[in-house]
Structure 1
Amino acid sequence: MGAYRLSDIWSAFRRRFWLLVLSVGLISPLALALAYFLPPKYDASAQILVEAPSTTLLNTTLTVPPAQRLAEIEHKLMARKAVLELIDKFGLYADRPDLSTSEKVDLVRRNTRFEAIPPPNASPRSGAVLSFSVSFTSDKPYLTAEVANELVERIMAENLRARTEQAEGTLSFLEKEAARLSRALAEVEAEITTFKNEHEKALPNSLPFRRQEVSNVKNRMFNRDQSRLALAEQLRNLREALQSGQIGLMTGQMTQAERDLQTLRNQLLQSQATLADSHPTIIALKKRIEVLDRVVAQQNNSATAQASRARQQAEQQIALLEKQIALSDRQQQADAAYLKDLEESIALTPKLEIELNRMLRRQAQLQAEYDAVIAKRNVASTDRQLEAGRKSERFVLIESARPPEGPTSPNRPLIAAGGVFFS
């Protein structure tokens, strides 16, 4: 392809000259008019610092991050009712009767900006906020600062109200929860106490003792059986001896006095055969017989008394043996009943242990929950005190909105230059 000649370029310019004149003469004036007649927009902003707590807390119940809290506040402030209050208070768009209420609300939302400013080197995902700005745009410069400052006041008031309400609500909830858990603990403790009282003899902690007691009772019953057999044998022997006359009867053998008396009587009979009754020998024999009669009579009376005492002692011993045997039988019956109770309680213990462990686990679970709630309640109480003393995390106004010195838009020189350039 050859080079363009000057005559060709001039020819092309002449053919498009009027088109160029028409473009510059039409588009440039329109761009200049647009730059001149566009309504100005004024912008004012305030900056709020998120101030860290003055008291460092290891734990807190107020765990909503500032970014999330700001988003929640923004949502409330941009709610229709709140925006309408702003419109009514400042007479926003009163010079625009053509706008409906919904359109005015949409304009306020579009002209209001909340911008979080994270700390240096903070990750965008961390949600950390160092400060944030609140801006409002309007075509009336005196309204921009007033509306922006009004939004700041509402933000700070809403933040304080929300944090105070959260602290008090959390504390109230934890106090109710602590009371509920305390009642539940008291109920399960009473249930455990009643259970232990009702099954006192079969509780798992006494199982080793009861097993040892079973062995002791069996040994005691065995020894008592042996003792009873000996007592019964002794009683049988005494009864047989008493019934057979071996106890309480006089012996058939004559005493020395009785033999001497018999000898004297024989001598008296022999002497009377040859001698007279007045004979000194006869008289002496009779006196000696009379003395021996009294001695033998005394001896016979003493033997009878001894026999009676022997029978009485034997009967007393029999009665005592019967009492001992009866006592042994009663003790055996008591131990047999006791042994039966022990064995039944030992058989019942595994089932009771399962039920008791269930209640104890429930008690431990409730106690752990109660301790955790009490710890949280203490933290919540501290949070409420800090909120009351304004010592917790708070929003601090570091720069209020000031009336703008000039419009921020439109950029008239840029619009005019652009119109001329593109024309």
Structure 2
Amino acid sequence: MGDIDIRFYLSILLRRSPYFLAIVATVSALGIAIAYNLPPVYRASAKIMVETPQIPADLARSTVSTSSAEQMQVMEQQIMTREYLLALAEQLNVYGAKKSELSSSDIVDNMRSRTLFNEAEASRDGKGAMLFDVSFDAREPALAAKVVNELVSFILSKNQRLRTDSAGETMQFFDQEVARLGAELTGLESKILKFKNENKNALPDGLDFRRSQQSSQQERLLLLEREESGLRNRRNNLVQMYESNGQMITTGPVTIEQQMLQDLNRSLSEQLAIFSESSPNIVTLRSRIAALQGKSKQAEAGAVGIKKTGPTELDLQLSDIDERLRFIAQEKTYIKKNLVDLNQSISATPGNETQLNALERTRANIQGQYNNAIARQAEASTGEQIEIRSKGGRFTVVEPAIAPQKPVSPNRRRIVGASLAAGIGLGMGLIVLLELLNKSIRRPVELAQLLQVQPLATVPYIWVDGEKRTRNKRLAFMFVATASVIPAFLLGIHHYYMPIGTFFEKFVVALDSSRMM
């Protein structure tokens, strides 16, 4: 029982063969009609090569760093824009009289589906160049080639313009950067110069000199104070000596008493620097000086003195001393003022040094940026010249598009084969469906399964007279009715919807709408 009843299934297939053959014939005929009525589609292609730069990168480098694949992607995106596709379809009259029947969105979608960009299989040669295919599908070979050549021309011109524009923008950027940094550098240098002029006496580079000046001025002030002290002591001594002797020592011949008086006065001056007035030595010296002065006055009393009309020697010496003291006082005032200025400048130097260092650091940073911008500007200028002269990674046409000789679609054999396979599948599906819906008992095994017992014998169905003819007539009627549905459907479309020729054409176009309008 587990064996497959081949004879039973063959009998079913034979009994249902009219349905099977009708479906296979109908679907196959429809597939053949579609295959041979679909319009041919021609594909024209052109190859574009992205050349490597003609100048070695270690000598001069282009400022356009976009890779070949990225450049082609940019070109593809620009070509696929709505504005360009509509303009291209209008320029080349791609749709002809059908243009009025199509909306702008339909044209754009159809143009995008028919335009192909692919990297070629042998995309890299020995020099590292890349190849790209640009293709377009059309029902007319000449139109396909014309559209592809127009696309290639657009790609070449647009790529060159994009590269030169990019290099020009890079050059313009560095020109502006150099100008900006130059202006900042000039302004900062002016600010530094103004700061130095305003603080020229308190700059860090003159700090050592000002400190040496301060030290020398302080030493000079100390010497002047010592000299002033000595001059004041001398003046006091001269005045005391004059008050003690009543006269100054002359330069002419002197008597013994005068010589002794001079010696005693000198000794008195020396002793006064050591002892006080109450010292016995001082008292003794003053008494001896007084005695000698008395004798000297008595000796001179009888002589006829001639009264002098000019200044005395004491006046002259005191005048010299006073003049020197006035000069010392003026010089001390000048030195003290100078020391005050030096102290202020030395105190202000650390703060000025901090500000000046900050300005110098800023200038050094800007100077470094400026030098870098100058170097980049030179590179940008070289890169711009490379792109202007087309010495960079340019696009060139390796194979221009020509009108194709053979269509790429439709594949009529494949369509016919697919329709035949579909007909067979539908026919077999119908047979299976009919058998699943048929619940009648046709084999002894089915009767045994239904009764759950093994019958002793089975009697096959016995046809009575006229029953088989009635069944055949019914089957023939069903076949004719089924076969009449398709013509009736087509006639209804022709009379109530649109002419059958137009409908069939639209149906074919709808089948091909994914590729062509």
The TM-score normalised by the length of structure 2 is 0.66
In the aligned structure 2, how far is the partner of 1:167 from the partner of 1:370?
20
Q: How far off is 1:249 after superposition? A: 8.0
SS of the equivalent of 1:136 reads: strand
For 1:86 and 1:49, locate their aligned partners in 2 and report how far apart those are by CA, in whole Å: 23
Aligned partners of 1:117 and 1:396: how far apart in 2? 14
Label 1:409 to 1:85 Cα distance change in 2 as closer, same or farther (>3 A).
Answer: same
Q: Aligned ranges for residues 48-67 of structure 1 at < 5 Å?
A: 48-58=48-58, 59-67=61-69
The answer as to whether partners of 2:248 and 2:313 remain within 8 angstroms in 1 is: no
Amino acid at match of 2:65: T
Q: What residue in structure 1 maps to residue 379 of structure 2?
A: 379
AA partner of residue 84 (structure 2): A
The amino acid that maps onto 2:179 is: A
Provide the residue aligned with 1:108 in structure 2: 111
Aligned residue pairs total 374
Q: How far did 1:219 drift?
A: 2.6
Structure 2 match to 1:98: 101
Please report how far the alpha carbon of residue 141 of structure 1 lies from its aligned counterpart in structure 2 after TM superposition. 1.2
Q: CA deviation at 1:22?
A: 2.2
Q: 1:252: how far off? A: 9.1
How far the C-alpha of 1:84 sits from its partner, in A, is: 2.1
Question: Which residue does the alignment assign to 1:213?
Answer: 213
Inter-CA distance 170–6: structure 2 relative to 1 (3 Å threshold): closer
The 1:24–1:204 alpha-carbon spacing in structure 2 relative to 1, beyond 3 Å, is same
| Aligned twin of 1:349 | 349
Does 2:72 match 1:70? yes
SS at match of 1:398: strand
**CA deviation after TM superposition for structure 1 residue 342, in Å:** 1.7
Partner of 1:45: 45
What CA distance in whole angstroms lies between the structure 2 residues aligned with 1:372 and 1:338? 47
Q: How does 1:185-200 map to 2 (within 5 A)?
A: 185-200=185-200
Match of 2:367 in 1: 367
Matches of 1:144 and 1:419, distance apart in 2:
30
**Amino acid paired to 2:142:** Y
Query: Against the structure 1 CA distance between its residues 20 and 118, is the aligned structure 2 distance closer, same or farther, given a 3 Å change threshold?
Result: closer
Return the alpha-carbon distance in structure 1 between the equivalents of residues 360 and 104 of structure 2: 65
Q: CA deviation at 1:235?
A: 1.9
SS at match of 2:44: strand
The 5 A counterparts of 1:126-205 are 130-205=130-205
Alignment of 1:262-273 (within 5 A): none
- Structure 1's unaligned 5+ residue stretches are 123-127, 256-296
The residue type equivalent to 2:341 in the other structure is: D
Q: In the alignment, is residue 416 of structure 1 matched against residue 424 of structure 2?
A: no
CA contact (8 A) 2:54 2:391 kept: yes
Mapped contact 2:76–2:117 kept (Cα < 8 A): yes
Secondary structure in 1 aligned to 2:102? coil
Q: Could you tell me which amino acid in structure 2 is paired with residue 142 of structure 1?
A: A
Structure 1 residues 412 and 313: alpha-carbon distance in aligned structure 2, compared to 1, 3 A threshold: farther
Q: Is the 8 A contact 2:62 2:392 kept in 1?
A: no
TM-score under structure 1 normalisation?
0.80
Task: Tell me, in whole angstroms, the C-alpha distance in 2 between the residues paired with 1:113 and 1:240.
Answer: 127
Amino acid at match of 1:98: E
8 Å Cα contact 1:61/1:376 also seen in 2: no
> Is the Cα–Cα contact under 8 Å of residues 204 and 349 in structure 1 kept in the other structure?
yes
1:194 Cα deviation from its structure 2 partner: 0.9
Equivalent residue for 2:87? Answer: 85
Alpha-carbon RMSD across the aligned residues, in angstroms, is 3.0
Gaps of 5+ in 2: 259-299, 424-517
How big is the shift at 1:48? 1.0
